[in-house]
Amino acid sequence: MVTEAISESRAGGDFWDGVRLSMPVVVASAPFAILFGAIAVDNGFSVLEAFLMSALIYGGASQMVGIELFGQHVAPWLIVLSIFAVNFRHVLYSAGIGRRIAHWPLLQQALGYF
């Protein structure tokens, strides 16, 4: 078996290939990111707080619900419950697709829901 060292030029090329391939997703999500940032600033969040919320809650509707409720000074348990309620639709989605992927291996099923 022959092993090859990855050259720095190819590693850099792989990086830029990844950047190029991810551009459609970046362009599609940019308006939502700008909207979330504007709402966060309007509700008194700092840039760091908005960034952390985006990093920890990766879901557009959940972020919007959370930011609005934080801005209204709602109890934290109610914010968590509200975000859970918004995301409960995914349980219904998985119930609909579950029987179609039941024959897949367990790991593949777990990854398939993403």
Q: Among 2-11, 71-80, 87-96, 97-106, where is mean pLDDT lowest?
A: 2-11
CA–CA dist 68, 43 (Å, integer): 7
pLDDT for 22 equals 94
Give the pTM. Answer: 0.63
Distance, in Å, from the CA atom of 114 to the CA atom of 90, rounded to the nearest integer, reads 10
Question: Is the distance from CB of 83 to CB of 102 less than 8 angstroms?
Answer: no
At 42, list the tokens: 């309007």
Query: Between 80 and 98, where is the model more confident?
Result: 80
Nearest-angstrom CA–CA distance, 103 and 110: 12
pLDDT 10s digits, 54-69 = 888 878 899 999 999 9
- Domain coordinates of the chain in residue numbers? 8-112
Tell me the per-residue pLDDT of 12-68, one tens digit each, with 9 for 90 and over. 789 999 999 999 999 998 999 899 999 999 989 999 998 998 888 878 899 999 999
Centroid of chain to Cα 72: 24
* Chain mean pLDDT for the chain: 85
